[in-house]
Each structure stands twice: as C-alpha cells, then as structure tokens.
Structure 1
Amino acid sequence: MSGGTGSTSAEAPIPAFGEVLGHPRPLWMLFMTEFWERFAFYGIRWALVLYIVAQFHAGSPTGEEPASQLYGAYLALVYAAAIFGGYVADKILGYQRSILLGAVIMACGLFMIAVPDPRIFEFGLATVIVGNGLFKPNISAMVGKLYAQSDGRRDSGFTIFYMGINAGAFLAPVLTGWLAEQVFGTAAMPAYKYVFIASGLGMLVSLVWFWFGRRQLQGIGAPVVGLEGVQTVAYVAVGCLVAIPVMWVLLAQLGATTLQYVLTAMFVGLCALLLAEGVRNGPVARDKAIAMLIIFAFNVMFWMFFEQAGSSFTFLADKIVDRQFGDWTFPVAWFQSVNSIAIIGLAPVVAWVWVKLGEWNPSIPRKFGLGLVFNGLAFLLLMFALSSLVDAAGKIPFWTLFMVYVIQSVGELCLSPIGLSMVTKLAPVRLVGFGMGGWFLSTGIGNNLSGIFAGYVSGETGMTTASALGGYTFGFWALVISGVILLAVSPVLNRLMHGVK
C-alpha cells in the first residue's frame, strides 16, 4: 500500500470497504467529486481563447497568438502546481483537507474570471491554478489508496475514475455553450460571463459532494499525525494566498518562453528528488523511478500536441471548419465534447482489446508509444484535409476535425488512464503524491509548449489554411518519430519496471 509520508492513516491497512459493482464504495464518491470538478475545469476550456481575443483584443486575429500562449501557460501552471499540492498532502495537510481547500480556492477563481477586467481575469486564473494544484493530484492519489498494490481491480478502478473525468468534460461544453449562445447571448456574441459562472457553481457542487462523502473513506487521506489542528489549514490557506500573486507573475508577466525555463528547472529538480528517494530504497525502487521519469519525458510530447484542442483547434473550428448544416451551425464549444464522447464510448472497447490480447497485451511503455502514434495519425488527417479538401470558401469538411478528436481519444486511452495507475505503482512508496505531482508537471510542460506551438500555428496575423498546414505537418512528424522511438526502447523500460504491469 503506497502512502504519503508521515501519515499513519496513509500507512495503515486498507479498510474493509463495502463494494458497489465490484469496487470499493468510496470510488464512486470520488468519481462524482471529480465529475463536478472536471465540469468546472472543462466548462471554461472552450471559451478561454475566444474570450481573450474578443474581450481584451477587440476581436482582432492578432490576439490569437497571445491568447494561445496565455492559455498554454495557464494549463501548464495548473498541472505544475500539482507538484506542490502533492507535497502539501503528503507532508502537511493530508489528502482530504487538501481536496476541500483546493475546491474552495478554485471556486473563488472561477467566479473572478467572470469579471471583464484583464487584471482580475488574470488573478482569477492564478487563483484557479493554486486551487487545482491542491485538488487534482490528491484526488487521483486517493483512488490508488483504495486498492492494494496487488489488487487486480486497480487499473479497472482508475479507468472507472477516468470515465468520471470524461463524463464531466462531456457535459460542460454542451451546457456552458448553450448558456453562452442560446440563453444569455447569441452565436455571434456569446455571453462568456455565464460560462465562467456556471463552472464556478459546478465547483461548489464538487466541494459539497466531497464534504459529505468523505466519511466513506474511513481515515484514508486523513490529516498527517501531529498536524491535525485547524491552524494547519489556516497556515496552508495563507500560503495559498501568497502563492496566487506568484502564479500571476508566472502566468501574465514572464511570457511563455521564460515560463518554459522555469518549468523545466522544476522538472529537473523533481526528477532528482524522486530518483534520490528511489536510490535510498534500493536498486529495484531506483530502476522503477528511472523508468517512470523516462515515460514522463514522452508524456510531455503527447500533451504538447494533444492540447491543441483548447487553442489552435478552437481557432481552426471557428475560422476554417465548415460547421453549417442547413440553417443550423454546429457550435464551436461542442467540439470539446467529442473527445469525451469518444472516451466514454471507446474505453470499454480498448479495455476489452487489452484483455483479449492476453499475453500479447502491450506493456505500459508500448501503450504510451501507441498513444503517441495515434495522436500523430490525427495530425496526418489534418494534413490531408488542409492540403486536399479545402473548398472554394476556404473551409475543410466538418467530419475531419470531428475525427481528429476521435483518433486523438484512442491515443489518450492508450496513455492517460494507464499513466495515473503507473505512478502509484512506480513512484517511491513514501512520495506517491509527489510522484503524481510529477506526472502532472510533465503534462504541464507539454501544455505550455502547446500554447507556444499554437501561437506558431496562428502566426502574428491569425490562423490561415497555410499556417495551419505547416504547423500540423510538424506535429505529425514529431509525434510519430517520438512514438517509434518509445516502442523501440520499450524492452529496456520493461526490465527497469521489474514486472510492473
């Protein structure tokens, strides 16, 4: 049983939980808590870059590059903050109270970005970043704490949890897009404020759900021994208030390139700490840590291109994709739900394929390699559409972008849910939360690079068919080459993992 350092509750035997559908009862409570948090997170995803261009750049296409870079930096810091959130839960606050405090802070930030002032908007994003850093890595780590390392249901439990993520991500763009374009605004002039308000309300639902449901955990994730007092929460809350302006500087003042240097330095430091802990625990733990860190590096490449969904793909959908079906126009926001529909529909199919393959079931590194290759195939489809399917109006067919999201989803299913489980198996036993923070930091680095890349795709004057074709051609080659390399070195990584499946 992996646990946080210093917490006797984390090191104690797993309670005899009642079961629902063959899994511990608390899994379903965590499922719904994450459902509403992801509703809040993805509710604003489709709107951010469009809102930044419309509100703070007067709708000018020249605003696309800075909007993409701000969006990429925001996502990067959301995930990078997880490294600190994991540490706080491991060492100070415990998982349960970290999740609760993070939910409160996130809700405040989501309501702040509804204010149409650039400085308040930036500070609101910084507040969301700090709150999500406390929430996201720790609720994922809690899922792992419901199962013994040898429990065969462990990967299945993470897959169910991942379905909760995608159910919330599916509903959010549909509902918030409808509120913005049908209820409070129009397709030509969406009322983005209500997107952000609805997301804030979703975060409050997540908070309330976990507050009442945490009794089911029977001490799993309880406060660290010796730090159970309310004053510990107060100290961490003050630290979060100090962290918000720091995040604002990183987000809004440094620029994406400088931020990349900061994130890279953090990643190198994290790798050193995890590797040192692995070395202290012996050669097997050391080898597992090395394998995990190598996979983290390939994870960066995957998310650099996958996360075009909230930036360059949004501008592509708005400007270059033919969304007309007679008198009805397919909303840009709804493209964000395609990935979630595909995940929900294809997850059982992919899981069935892994089972049917039996002894030929690919190892974790090979699945990651396949994830990169499938992501690359999505960009190959865009290359074909932008070079051969552009109509007289300069538009590409609707189905092409729709299928890009579906193909990327297959790649995501090969990689992302397995990644969460992998960390709980390979991270040094005393730093699982910290290791989960490392997973999200590598994702964050990829996201910051995604904003830089999306800015390149749009260029200084806004996205064109030619600029999109050039950028996405580069994306195809970068992904496929990375995937082939990872598939080639998989036997070495498998040996380093010492039987972890």
Structure 2
Amino acid sequence: MNTDIENLFKDTVLGHPIGLFILFFTEMWERFSFYGMRILLILFLTAPLVSDNPGWDWPREHALALIGTYASLLYLTPIIGGWIADKWTGYRIAVVIGCIIMTLGHAAMALETTWSFYLGLALLVLGTGFFKPNITSIISEMYKTRESKKDGAYTIFYMGVNAGAFFGMMLCGYLAENYGWAYGFGLAGIFMLLGMLQFLLAHKIFGKIGAAPSKKIDVVFHDGEDITDPEVINEEVEVASKLNPFTTFDKVLIALSSIGGLLYLFNDPLEKIGGKSLAPFTVSLPFEWGVISGSNVIVISALVLFLILLIMRISRYIPIVRDRLVAVSIFALFTVFFFAFFEQSLGSMTLFASDYTNRDLVGNTATIFKIVDGLLTTIPLIIITYVIFLIFKKTFKTIGASNIMLAIAFLGLWILVVYRIYDKSFSEELKVDATWFGILNSFFIITLAPIFSKWWESKYNPSAAMKYAIGLVLLGVGFAVLAYGASDIPSGAQTASVSMIFLILAYLFHTMGELCLSPLGLSYLSKLVPARMIGFMFGVWYLAIAVGQKLANTMGGMIDKISAEYSLGTFFLIFAVVPIAVGFISMVLNPVLKKLMHGVR
C-alpha cells in the first residue's frame, strides 16, 4: 500500500497528488447533480398545475413531508454503504456503484411521471449511501503517510463540494425555472454521468488505494515512521473485540429503534399525501390531553430505545472515555437543533424567495446585479479551469480518456454559464431566479472559510461549546433578519414583495453559523471517541443530522398554518428564538463540557 501512496505523490499539483483532484472533480459533479436537483424539489412539487411551468401543485406541508424523509434517508444510507465498502467492495468500486445508481435516479426524475419521480428519489438515496462515505475514505487512505498534509487535502476537497453546489443550483435552477423542470433534472444527471466516467477512467492512477479490502493487517506509517509492532497489533485487536462488545440486547435495541425510525420516516409523507398509515391506531393521553397518533408513538418509542442503547454502551467505559462520549452526545443534540433550523434553506427559505421576495430588478440595479452575478460565476470557473490545465499537462499520457471526459464536462459548463449570462444581458428588466439565492451559502463558505480557519488557529480560538453557541446564535440572527423583513406581510398572504437584501443577509449569517459548527463536528468526534467505538459514534452523528433534516422539513411544513393564524414574520421569529436560546444553553454548559472533554480542544 505504501508504494502506491508514494507513487501518487511523485506528480503533484498545488502540492497535492493528482489523485486528490480526480476525487475533487468527481465530488464536484456529484454535488452539482445533488444540489442542482434538490433545490428544484420544493418549487416543482408546489408549482401550480396551470402555469407557464406547471408542477404538481402540492400543498407545502405535503411537499416538505416528502423532502424531509428524502433528506433524512440521505444521511442514513451512508452508514450501510460505508460498511459494505469496508467489508466487501472497497471504496473505489462503491463510489462507481453510487455514481451509476444516482445517474439512473436523475434520469428517472427527468421523465416527470409519478412512478419515475419516486423511483428517482429512491435511487438517489441508495446511490448516495454508496458514494458519500467512501470517496472521503479514499482521501484518508491516500494520506496515511502524509498526516500533516491531510487538513489541506480536505480543505481543497471541501472547495469541490461547494463549487459543485454553487454551479449545480445556479444552472439546474436556471434551466428548470426558465425552460422546464425536466431540463433541470436532466442536466443534473448528465454531469453525474460525466463525473463517474472521469473517475472510472482514472482508476489506475490509484493503484491499490481504495481497492477491495484485504484480510491482511496493513503496516501503517505516519510521516515516514513505522509505528506498528505485531504484539501491539494483536493486543489492540484483542482489546477491541473483548472490551464493550455489542451484546444481544444491544443488537435488539438497534434493530427495534431502526425499524421504528424508518417506519416513521416512510409513514409521515404517506399519511399526509396519500391519507394512509402504516400505524393506523391512536393512544389516548391521560388528564384529557388528547390523543397521539400511532406514527408518533412509534417514533417516540424508537427514540427512547436508542437513548437506552446509547446510555448502556457509554456507561460500560472507564470514566474518562465515558465523560468524553457524554460530551459527544451533547454536541450531537446541539447538531440536531442546528440542522433542524439551518436546513430551512432548501424548504421554507426557497419558498420565501419564490413567493415573498421582490426579484424584479430594473435600470442600474439590474445592471449592477448582472455584473456581480457574471463575476461570481466566471472567476471561480477560470480558476478551476487553470487547475485542469495543470492536471492535463501532467496526466494526459497516463489517463487521457479521463481528461477528455473532464474536458467535455467543463466545456459544457462553460457553454451553459456563458449562455446564461448572455440570456440575461440584453434586457433592462431582470427577474432573479428563486434558486439563485441557494448559491449564496456556497459563495459565502468559499469566501469566509479562510477567515474562520485563521480564527481557529489563533490564540482567540474558542472552546467547542462556545463555537456551537456562536453558530446557533448566528443562525438565529439570520432568521431574525427574515422575521423583520416579513413583519409587514399580512396573515395568510400567499405572495409579497420583500426586498431581497433580507434573504441575502440571512444566508450570510447562516453560513457564518455553519462555519462555526458544521465542519468541526466530525473533527471533535475523531478526537473524543476511542478508535474501537468510532464507527458506532459516526453512525450516531449521521443519525443526529438525519433527525435534524426531518425536523427541518416537518417544522417548515407549518409555514402555511402559522402564517395564516399569525403571520409569516411570526413563523421566522420562532426560528430565530429557539436556536438563540439553545446557543445560550451551550454557553452555560461550556465549563461542564470542558471538564467532560478532559483536555481535548
């Protein structure tokens, strides 16, 4: 394995091996297709049947119930996909399988029929399960002998994530809103296919990195120093297998809580959209508190069983490990709250952009927007194209076919970007696409990430709990801006013309909150959790995000009810108050969490 890693580092671009950029572009196209399609969902499902661009005319609550289940499953299937790759396929084959399944999913959605739409969503969930955990695992394996360069590698890779999201939401949204939903869904599939071919045709550059797992124990090197010893390996294997194994009762709790959670995820949209239930019963509450549906009984029971499992497993460890795992669990709870509110960006905030924001620009304002929009689009594309040129110079002889696929993809991207700029250039009036606001998160991440990175490296680097607190408070401030902007909208209004500056500021505050919290969660997890429990706790972390995703769209689905009974400003005010309150709780718990972390920063 070491030979393949050393070979990768012989040819570098910007100080990193070519293989990293192969993964960069594969991830970029996958995120292009993922975010490009996802931002269309709420608009397509709620668009009127009788319009220039007809959709399915669903109530917002129904659409967000389906999107919530879809988004939640996207964070659950990677747990299974990573396990399959570890045990059987290896990371590279799993990535290809994921790409193929997702390409078929996008193709199915482009047909716009009921059966193909649901089939497409199912395929995207399965494909993401294979793709998401395993492409990052390849990077981890590539840098086994270069631990000091791993942070830089993940930073570059993270730029690929945001570049893909940026262009995907911009171009898929542009085609879908201006030419038809099928064009947006179809474009996502085309770039997913090109990304897969680019990766597949470059496979030989990786050697055995990411190949099917071997039954042998690999010798591990850290920055050139061999730190393994047969006796140490045997001792670690023995400890890992004997200390705190999963008991039969643990496995029963995992099975029951998983079945209960999945039943709720599928039943929620089925009950709201189809009027049918997988749990057709109710339970009466005491003291005339009313009744609770069978679906809610099941999900509460599943949550209780999972908490019992978590408490039992944590309690078996020695005090220091136990304390750190308690800290991780508290951070996971804060993560649920964060994503439950942050993920309004692709739900209620997209609806706000579409129906309540004044997106019509004229005169000088339209001209300024066109210039800024053109620069935002072309400058990143020029930089990435330059990187491609550097890659081609070094690799065309070895992976020429892969380079050609990459060139075709970027030629197509340039054509679409130039055409979009051209299409919007010749009119004094301009209507900004509702999906355009979705790109702001990626843009702000790319521009602000270096500033936050410097902050974390300085002497003013706050503790973990304070970072969570700052992130949650900033998230709440973003919603407070929206609440103020929507304060004049009367109760029950279906449309309005609020200035777009409120939405732009909300995305700015939300992105700053995300930079305080989201990228750091897995870092703290890896520092606090013992190696023998890392897989289980990664599963807990993904579960926390999945729960947050479902909660986000369940709460977002209340937009019509709350805005009709009170106002849209009240709806967003609720979303401002709760994360700010949770942020202050995190501040209060800071001394306790520091103590529980036992010196880990």
TM tier relative to shorter chain: 0.7 to 0.9
Residue in structure 1 matched with residue 352 of structure 2 by the alignment: 316
Structure 1: distance between partners of 2:201 and 2:535: 23
CA contact (8 A) 2:264 2:296 kept: no
CA shift at 1:164, angstroms? 1.4
Name the amino acid aligned to 1:98: A
CA contact (8 A) 1:137 1:436 kept: no
Structure 2: distance between partners of 1:292 and 1:78: 22
Residue in structure 2 matched with residue 365 of structure 1 by the alignment: 465
CA contact (8 A) 2:107 2:186 kept: yes
Residue in structure 2 matched with residue 480 of structure 1 by the alignment: 580
Residue in structure 1 matched with residue 36 of structure 2 by the alignment: 43
Name the amino acid aligned to 2:486: L
CA shift at 1:311, angstroms? 1.1
Q: 1:383-414, CA deviations, whole angstroms, 9 ceiling, x for partnerless residues?
A: 21122699x99421111101111111111111
What's the TM-score, normalizing by structure 1? 0.81
Calculate the aligned-residue CA RMSD, in Å: 3.6
Matched, 1:301 2:337: yes
Structure 2: distance between partners of 1:178 and 1:414: 31
| Change beyond 3 A, Cα 1:60–1:109 | closer
Q: What SS class does the counterpart of residue 113 from structure 1 fall into?
A: helix
| Change beyond 3 A, Cα 1:74–1:14 | same
Structure 1: distance between partners of 2:309 and 2:479: 36
Structure 2: distance between partners of 1:198 and 1:344: 24
Matched, 1:341 2:443: yes
Q: Which runs of 5+ in 1 are unaligned?
A: 1-8, 186-190, 228-242
CA contact (8 A) 1:47 1:333 kept: yes
CA shift at 1:51, angstroms? 0.8
Q: What SS class does the counterpart of residue 485 from structure 1 fall into?
A: helix
| Change beyond 3 A, Cα 1:420–1:220 | farther
Q: Which residues of 2 match residues 166-181 of structure 1 at below 5 A?
A: 166-181=162-177
CA shift at 1:366, angstroms? 2.3
What's the TM-score, normalizing by structure 2? 0.68
| Change beyond 3 A, Cα 1:457–1:252 | closer
Residue 425 of structure 1, aligned match among 507, 512, 527: 527
Q: What SS class does the counterpart of residue 328 from structure 1 fall into?
A: strand
Q: Which residues of 2 match residues 376-395 of structure 1 at below 5 A?
A: 376-387=476-487, 394-395=496-497
CA contact (8 A) 2:174 2:184 kept: no
Residue in structure 1 matched with residue 196 of structure 2 by the alignment: 207
Residue in structure 1 matched with residue 403 of structure 2 by the alignment: none
Residue in structure 2 matched with residue 253 of structure 1 by the alignment: 270
| Change beyond 3 A, Cα 1:475–1:150 | farther
| Change beyond 3 A, Cα 1:270–1:332 | same
Residue in structure 1 matched with residue 119 of structure 2 by the alignment: 123
Q: Mean Cα displacement is larger for which, 40-49 or 145-154?
A: 145-154
Residue in structure 2 matched with residue 412 of structure 1 by the alignment: 514
Matched, 1:80 2:82: no
Structure 1: distance between partners of 2:175 and 2:58: 27
Q: 1:183-226, CA deviations, whole angstroms, 9 ceiling, x for partnerless residues?
A: xx2xxxxx011111111122222322332444444544332335
Name the amino acid aligned to 1:198: L
Structure 2: distance between partners of 1:274 and 1:145: 29
CA shift at 1:108, angstroms? 1.2
CA contact (8 A) 2:49 2:57 kept: no
Residue 326 of structure 2, aligned match among 269, 286, 290: 290
Q: 1:337-387, CA deviations, whole angstroms, 9 ceiling, x for partnerless residues?
A: 1111111111112112222x32x3123332222211111110111121122
Q: Mean Cα displacement is larger for which, 466-475 or 154-163?
A: 154-163
Structure 1: distance between partners of 2:433 and 2:597: 45
| Change beyond 3 A, Cα 1:125–1:153 | same
Residue in structure 2 matched with residue 236 of structure 1 by the alignment: none
CA contact (8 A) 1:86 1:434 kept: no
Residue in structure 1 matched with residue 422 of structure 2 by the alignment: none
Q: What SS class does the counterpart of residue 362 from structure 1 fall into?
A: coil
Residue 439 of structure 1, aligned match among 541, 545, 548: 541
Residue in structure 2 matched with residue 138 of structure 1 by the alignment: 134
Name the amino acid aligned to 1:441: L
Q: 1:431-469, CA deviations, whole angstroms, 9 ceiling, x for partnerless residues?
A: 645544433321121111111111111239xx6695321
Greater Rg over alpha carbons, structure: 2
CA shift at 1:126, angstroms? 1.5
| Change beyond 3 A, Cα 1:136–1:426 | farther
Structure 1: distance between partners of 2:204 and 2:263: 35
Residue in structure 1 matched with residue 87 of structure 2 by the alignment: 91
CA contact (8 A) 2:42 2:64 kept: yes
Q: What SS class does the counterpart of residue 38 from structure 2 fall into?
A: coil
Residue in structure 1 matched with residue 20 of structure 2 by the alignment: 27
**Size of the alignment, in residue pairs?**
463
Q: Which runs of 5+ in 2 are unaligned?
A: 217-258, 274-292, 363-428
| Change beyond 3 A, Cα 1:335–1:415 | same
Q: Indicate the structure whose relative CO is greater, using CA pairs within 8 Å and at least 6 residues apart.
A: 1
CA shift at 1:165, angstroms? 1.0
CA contact (8 A) 2:529 2:537 kept: yes
Q: What SS class does the counterpart of residue 558 from structure 2 fall into?
A: helix
